[in-house]
Amino acid sequence: MKGWLRPVSAIAVACLLGLVCSELLCRSVSFRDLLGGVAGRGRLIAITHGRGFYENDLEVHGATAASDLLVAENLRRLSSEEKIDSAQLDHELSLCRSEFGDESTFARALRSNRLSLASLREKIAGQLHALQWLEKQITTEAAISDQECRNFYETHRDLFQQPARFRASHIFLAAHAETPPEEVEAKAKAIEALALRVAGGEPLSQLATEASEDEASKARGGDLGFFSAARMPPEFFAEVEKLRVNEISKPFRSHLGFHIVQLTETKPSRLLSFEEARSEISLTLANARRVLIATRLAENLTKSAYRRPN
CATH of the domain at 204: 3.10.50.40
Q: Confirm whether 192 is domain-assigned.
A: yes
Confidence tier at 25 by pLDDT (50, 70, 90): very low
pTM of the model: 0.49
Contact 125, 84 (CB under 8 A): yes
Q: Do 254 and 195 belong to one domain?
A: yes
User: Could you give the CA distance from residue 89 to residue 281 in angstroms, rounded to a whole number?
Assistant: 35
User: Could you give the CA distance from residue 100 to residue 285 in angstroms, rounded to a whole number?
Assistant: 40
**Neighbouring residues of 58: CB distance < 8 A, sequence distance ≥ 6:** 45, 64, 65, 66, 68, 69
Q: Confirm whether 64 is domain-assigned.
A: yes
Torsion sign over Cα 14, 15, 16, 19: positive
Q: Confirm whether 302 is domain-assigned.
A: yes
Distances in Å between the Cα of 252 and the Cα atoms of 6, 181, 184 are: 109, 17, 13
- Determine the structural domain holding residue 129 and report its residue range: 86-139
Confidence at residue 81, expressed as pLDDT on a 0 to 100 scale: 83
End-to-end CA distance of the chain: 61
Q: Do 176 and 264 belong to one domain?
A: yes
Strand order in the sheet with 165-174: 223-227, 165-174, 257-267, 252-253
Contact 142, 289 (CB under 8 A): no
φ/ψ (deg, to 5) at 68: -65, -45
Output the CA angle 134-139-143, nearest 5 degrees: 155
Q: What is the SS3 assignment for 284-306?
A: HHHHHHHHHHHHHHHHHHCCCCE
Q: Confirm whether 8 is domain-assigned.
A: no
Q: Confirm whether 290 is domain-assigned.
A: yes
Q: Do 173 and 211 belong to one domain?
A: yes
What are the tens digits of pLDDT across the range 216-271? 999 999 999 999 998 999 999 999 999 999 999 999 999 999 999 999 999 999 99
Q: Confirm whether 150 is domain-assigned.
A: no
What are the tens digits of pLDDT across the range 294-304? 788 777 777 65
Question: How many domains, in total, are found in the chain?
Answer: 3
